[in-house]
A and B are shown apart, each in its own frame.
Chain A
Amino acid sequence: MNAIRKRDLIMLIVGLIIFGVLQAMMSAKMIGSFWQLNILLIGINIIMSVSLNLINGYTGQFSLGHAGFMAIGAYVGVVATTNFGMPLLVALILGAIGAGLLGFTIGLPTLRLRGDYLAIATLGLGEIIRIVIMNIDYVGGAAGFKGIPHLTTFPWVFFVMLFTLFFIKNFVNSTHGRACIAIRENEIAAESMGVNTTKYKIMAFTIGAAFAGVAGGLFAHSFYLISPNSFTFLSSFNYLIMVVLGGLGSITGSIAGAFVVTFISAALAAWPEFRMIIYALALILLMFYRPQGLFGYMEVTNLGPIKKFFDGLKDSR
């Protein structure tokens, strides 16, 4: 077994231990139902922020419509389970396909735009999706979709999240991920090094959108009702904040960002007016003292003692 496989295995074991501890605490009722829901939300938000990071952080394409793709996944999912009685797994896959397809079709024209223009186009896209859903009576329109079966459980969220993390980590550490990173760093140089920049921009956008669709499916099945207002541009901003806070171009950062943001808003749920002030202050301070985000381009496996531990594995190959 080589060092990379060993590394993957150790990370998987660490993940399973975390899962075991949390699951045991939930079964023993040490975590109340409020925090149980928030743990689910943290997991879902990790999927959202890591997939958005692939687009914004790794490929450097500033997208602001991530909640739109989440909405597609959510609505496709709830229709599949509630109206057609399909299992959750099928619903999630259908949601991913739906959001991914839309990401692909929308990406084709919009990814010709750069920087601010792309941000505005994707912002508009997210709103269009929301408003279109609002006007489809089949899914309840503005009143929302009611009667969703409560299928999202902690194991579902955790293992789908783990799958997402490994998927994106492996993608980024391959030649395909390097191509995306090269586009972020210097598009002209990337093209002259043989990278089909259009293809990889669209690939990153599609994969990111598909995972947002999965997250949407999990999100929708945690509640009895979803409405288009769960997917406004404000929630797109929220995911962007998680990514920027954690560090554009770091998976560890996205996990940390999703955790911190979700945790803070849950902890301050009783004082909603302070929440926004603290939120804003935290971001201002971060931009002053650590503009690259909590982790910058670093991963947890590159940090001092952990890196030493993993380097030790390499020698014993």
Chain B
Amino acid sequence: MAELLRATNVSEIFGGLKAVDDFNFYINAGELVGLIGPNGAGKTTIFNLITGVYIPTTGDITLEGASIVGLKPYQITQRGITRTFQNIRLFSELSVLDNVKIAYHCRVKYGLLEAVLRLGRYFDEEREIEEESLKLLEIFKLDEHAYEVAKNLPYGAQRRLEIARALAAKPKLLLLDEPAAGMNPQETKELMEMIRWIRKQFGLTVLLIEHDMSLVMGICERIYVLEYGMVIASGTPEDIQNDPEVIRAYLGEEAVN
């Protein structure tokens, strides 16, 4: 399997706080990898480092062998990494359909003049975007809400819309930041099926942060465990479940003995 993303000795220091400390990690094309750890362990910081929101203090991150350190977030999206957010960040006053349409931005070929004068490719591309967006919404069971304002959707649907929007940008690597947060067990189960399905359907590589262990252990092929910005364990779900370091981090010293 070809390696898609690699982080080498990445550290991120905020003032006196080492949020991420010598982080090493790789993900192969097509893998589904989980990133877990207690609150404040630095999981979201790692997402922000990968997507260019933060620039690593030291270390390097490569996508398909080329360094992406120092690129702006939108450039990283153009190179094929998209994400969802822990606290939902939809374009809340816009329709569900428009939310998805925006994500086609970096693939649109018509220029400013063609848009303003409505010439050439404008109509063809706009029709294509509309059709593809509606198809995507259908997959996420959002098609009946397509013309509703995004902020009026129920919570679970908003989470699904975030994933749909991230997929519309045609990523190679999809980063999901706590996709199951606030979902009930039934919704979590459905989400799990959906992640599996979209991965196969879109040929995606997925990296996800999650606190819901049934989800993480159920679908991830490999897991990295983070504590105080450091990787304390990595391996298959079975390895992780039996790792004394992980049990200590989550349950305390006595649980190990």
Contacts and interface: CB of A to CB of B under 8 A. Distances in A.
Contact of B118 (A5, A188, A192, A195): A5
Nearest to A179: B105
B106 A194 contact: yes
A4 B118 contact: yes
A239 to B, nearest CB: 22
Contact of B82 (A2, A174, A190, A192): A192
Interface string A155-181: 000000000000100110011111101
B102 A179 contact: yes
Contacts of A186: 89-92
Interface string B94-127: 1000100111111010101001111000110010
Nearest to B93: A185
Interface residues of B, number: 36
Contacts of B89: 186, 188-189, 192
Contacts of A197: 74
Nearest to A175: B108
Contacts of B126: 174
A164 to B, nearest CB: 11
A2 B123 contact: yes
B91 A192 contact: no
A191 B115 contact: no
A194 B77 contact: yes
Contact of A170 (B90, B93, B115): B115
A108 B162 CA distance: 31
B163 to A, nearest CB: 13
Given A186-B90, A192-B73, A178 B105 contact: yes
A26 to B, nearest CB: 31
A193 B117 contact: no
B77 A167 contact: no
A194 B123 contact: no
Given A170-B116, A175-B108, A193 B103 contact: yes
Interface of B: 51, 53, 72-74, 77-78, 82-83, 85, 89-94, 98, 101-106, 108, 110, 112, 115-118, 122-123, 126, 129, 165, 169
